Amino acid sequence: MRGEVTAQQAMFSYVSPEARVPATHPLRAIKARADEVLATLERTFDEMYSSTGRPSIPPERLLKSELLIALFSIRGHRLFCEELNYNILFRWFLDMNLDEPGFDHSTFSQNSERLLQHEVAQRFFDAVVTAARREGLLSDEHFTVDGTLIEAWASLKSVTPKAAPAAAPPDDPGNPTVDFHGERRTNATHQSTTDPEARLARKGQGKEAKLCFSGHVLMENRHGLCVDLQIAPATGTAERETALAMLRRQASRGIRPRTLGADKGYHCRDFVRQLRRRHIRPHLARVAGRRTPGLDGRTTRTVGYALSQRIRKRVEEIFGWLKTVGGLRKTRFRGLARTQHAALLVGAAYNLLRISRLQAPAPAT
């Protein structure tokens, strides 16, 4: 028979958020691992706050909120704080009662600045990677590196000459009329007034130039986890320079790769020489007709080289998730520091999701 809609709703609920989340929900495994990682950062959180004053939003909830924003592709802090008022799943993930008030979006963003000042995103990302290594999910020998462009939160209309005199007030402050046709604009002579750290860059020949940052990922080849993530200015040499910087960070942690896979953008004499100096075999895709000492048939004819070239394509899965699900196709923040902070949190969310799937129990047959 047809059900009836009752206008009177129940005043009390005796079902906890824990009971409303299914036992097989994928967030359960992610929450368990996130809580374990956050427990290792307890001393860092104690150093961030004073022992007196009014309590703020717990840093554990701030970081877990950023995980939810990345995992559920939420546009920003304001929308997340709105959804937190009625989303029981989010409240369960943050260990909040149903009667507990949600976050004010301005307070949430202001408290997030404290995480940026203390580089908590980097420590959280590193703690996730350390946990994966402790569980035997990472390779210490074979890695892949790649880079991509991340569009900045700035319009081409904001690009003006660096030495330009004071201009007249715009006709429309929200969307001014700008005529730059016939004007040659370069990073040496122009910069954005919205985000001066963003640089004009293009994906390839014939493509339009956009204000961008460059994003770089170092992936281990065993399970395709992201072990390092760096945001840098979009320059022509950023890929190779950042790759060497990430390798130096791995060496400082006692990890010395044996091979490094990459695409043709890394095939140059100096980069190959730097890898050989570190006793790393360059498994780089070769540019046809380019002869480079240290990258010849003795390297490219091996089985390991062919395997690295096949596995290195998996790094595109990381970029695809970071940009589509994680929202990093176009950053919502201005400046390198804030974009780096957001990218590390999205990268930590990707790793936690990947780890939870790698260790998921096999389905019963």
User: Which residues lie closer than 8 Å to 14 by C-beta, 6 or more apart?
Assistant: none
By CB atoms closer than 10 A (0-12, 13-18, 19+), residue 259 is: buried
Distance CA 138, CA 143 (A): 10
Please, are residues 140 and 212 in contact by the beta-carbon 8 Å criterion?
no
| Residue 110: partners with Cβ closer than 8 Å, 6 or more residues away | none
Q: pLDDT of 296-346, one tens digit each?
A: 999 999 999 999 999 999 999 999 999 999 999 999 999 999 999 999 999
| Cβ-based neighbours of 239, under 8 Å, separated by 6 or more | 145, 146, 147, 214, 216, 265, 266
Which CATH entry fits the domain spanning 139-152+212-332: 1.20.120.80, 1.10.645.10, 3.30.420.10, 3.90.1300.10? 3.30.420.10
Tell whether the model's pLDDT for residue 1 goes beyond 60. Answer: yes
For the chain, domain boundaries: 17-118, 139-152+212-332
Torsion of CA 335, 79, 328, 21, to 10 degrees: 140
Instruction: Show Cβ contacts of residue 298 under 8 Å, excluding neighbours closer than 6 positions.
Output: none
Q: What's phi and psi for 21, nearest 5 deg? A: -90, 125
178 confidence band (pLDDT: 50, 70, 90) = confident
For residues 90-112, one letter each, b for 16 or more C-beta atoms within 10 angstroms of the residue's C-beta and e for the rest, the string is bbbbbebeeeeebbebeebeebb
116-132 pLDDT, tens digit per residue, is 999 999 999 999 999 99
Q: Give the pLDDT of residue 209.
A: 87
| In contact, 224 and 146? CB cutoff 8 Å | no
